[in-house]
Structures are given as C-alpha cells and as structure tokens.
Amino acid sequence: MRQASNIEALVKLCPDFIGLIFYPKSKRFVGPQISPDIDLLIPRSLSRVGVFVNESFDDLIEKIKLNNLDIVQLHGDESVDYCTSLKSLGVSCIKAFGISSDFDFDSIVSYEKVCDYFLFDTSSELRGGTGVKFEWKKLNEYRGANDFFLSGGINPGDVEALKTLNHPRLFAVDVNSGFEVEPGIKDIKKLESFILQLRG
C-alpha cells in the first residue's frame, strides 16, 4: 500500500499486518522508503511487513531501519543462510514459497528453524500477485513445524471455504488483488465485509 488516505481507512479496520512492497518490478512498489505522512499513519500495534524479492542483504537491513519494519517477507530465492543471518540480527522473517501440484514440502524443512512463518502462494514467475489460487487440498501434505500465511487469489467470496480449512498451522490469510480498486489501492468496503465475516 502507498496512498495515505487509503492506508488511513485500512488502519480503522484493525488488520493484524500491513504489507509494503519493496520489489521494484511490482505494480505495488512503494519505493525505497515510505513517505513521512504514511509512516505516521501506521500505528505500532499494526505489524509492518516489508515484501522483498532477492534483495541484497545490506540493502534489506537498510530498508528495515528506514521504514521501521517489524517483519520481512521474502518472495525470492533467498537461501537458508540468508535467513539465518536475518535471525542472528533478531529480524522476524516470513519465507514465501510458490505452491504447485508437484511441490514437495520436505524441500523447505531446512528453513523451519530460521524463519518465523512460511507463506504459501501460487507458484509463478511473477513472485506473487497473480490473483490465482493453488489447490488448497495440497495443504494437507504440509506437516511442518511452522505456522503459515495462506495467499494467492483469495477474494471476497472465499470466506466460507476459508472457514472450512482446519489445518493446525494455518495462522493468517494474506489478501491482495482480490480486494483492490487498482494495484496498491485497497477496496475498503470489500475488506471490511471480509474481515467481519472471517472473524465472526
């Protein structure tokens, strides 16, 4: 998100996290640093998630400090060593993985001890933002130790389906394009209805 008035309206809905995308190729790119007016609008009670794709480690650390980020969400090919270095500095990390029909959850076991959460999104060369779901039945194969965020093509009509998911590690739902007026601008009415229904 990057528009002050839109963020101000979102904050009133009391979400748990707000995503700020620092990937230059994304249509939702906020730039290297959010503006001071936006910075003031985001309360400390709302976790700031900085989304990155294959960012150099030094640049990542700089942007964490510049933007007062609480968590980083890594959508690239970041290695276990990269995540280990973040953990050693006390940086909370969500590691995203693109899920396809042949994805092997055993391949991510080595990340468990160095990441706070996983995020399961639809596999794509775009690194997210496709607006397409993966087959949620695939989640039954995940028996890992880390809680996860569910992402990928979630829209206002998915409330009932989400409520039927009973995976013990499902921690949060990550919504994006299905709740936008345009890239980076959220449809507040859709979000409000969705949050009320999902939490109700």
Give the pLDDT of the chain (200 residues) as one tens digit per residue: 788 999 999 999 999 999 999 999 998 999 999 999 999 999 999 999 999 999 999 999 999 999 999 999 999 999 999 999 999 999 999 999 999 999 999 999 999 999 999 999 999 776 666 678 999 999 999 999 999 999 999 999 999 999 999 999 999 999 998 999 999 999 999 999 999 999 98
Residue 2: predicted pLDDT: 82
Residue 136: predicted pLDDT: 97
Question: Which pTM does this prediction carry?
Answer: 0.94
Structure tokens at 113: 């001890």
Please tell me the number of Cα atoms within 13 Å of 117 on its side-chain side.
Answer: 21
Contact 71, 116 (CB under 8 A): yes
Residue 127: predicted pLDDT: 64
Contact 81, 102 (CB under 8 A): no
Structure tokens at 161: 């389906």
Structure tokens at 102: 């042949």
Residue 159: predicted pLDDT: 96
- Helical packing angle, 80-88 and 57-66, nearest 10°: 40
- What fold, for 4-199? TIM Barrel (3.20.20)
Rounded to an integer, what distance in angstroms lies between the CA atom of residue 121 and that of residue 95? 11
Reduce the DSSP state of residue 194 to 3 states and report it. Answer: helix
Reduce the DSSP state of residue 51 to 3 states and report it. Answer: strand
The residue type at 114:
V
Reduce the DSSP state of residue 3 to 3 states and report it. Answer: coil
